[in-house]
Each structure stands twice: as C-alpha cells, then as structure tokens.
Amino acid sequence: KRQVKRTIHECSENFNKKKENILKDHTEIMELKNMITALKKSLDEGNSRLDQAEKRISELKERSLDIIQAEEK
C-alpha cells in the first residue's frame, strides 16, 4: 500500500513538473511571437518609408531632367 502511494505521489510530482515546463514554454513562445510581430511591423514601416523615399527621389530626378531639357531649348 505504501509503495502504491509513493508511486502515485511521484507520478503526481512528475506530472506537475511537466505541466510547469509546458506553461513556461508556452509563455516563452508567446513572448517570441509578440517580438516577431513587433519586428515585422517595424520592418513594414521601414519598407514603407523606403518606398516613399525612392518615389520622391524618382520625382526629383524627373523634375531635374525636365529642367535640364527646358534649359537646352
């Protein structure tokens, strides 16, 4: 009878430890997921700014060419 109680107690402790580890892993996974989401958002914002800058540079180049061509006439 004692052996059965000990075995049940050990199994219960083992289960609780595994449960705690799973909860810790889940928490870490959620933290990593949030970090990845934040990084993606930052990257998207940076890409958007880069696209805007490239568009503006293109517009300025076209304007410069128009001015040069007008001066040559």
pLDDT, tens digit (0-9, with 9 covering 90-100), for 32-53: 999 999 999 999 999 999 999 9
How far apart CA 61 and CA 69 sit, in angstroms, is 12
How far apart CA 50 and CA 39 sit, in angstroms, is 16
Nearest-CA neighbor of 11 among 23, 62, 3, 54? 3
pLDDT, tens digit (0-9, with 9 covering 90-100), for 50-64: 999 999 999 999 999
How far apart CA 26 and CA 19 sit, in angstroms, is 10
Q: Using alpha carbons only, give the angle 50, 53, 58 rounded to the nearest 5 degrees.
A: 125
Answering whether pTM is above 0.85, one says: no
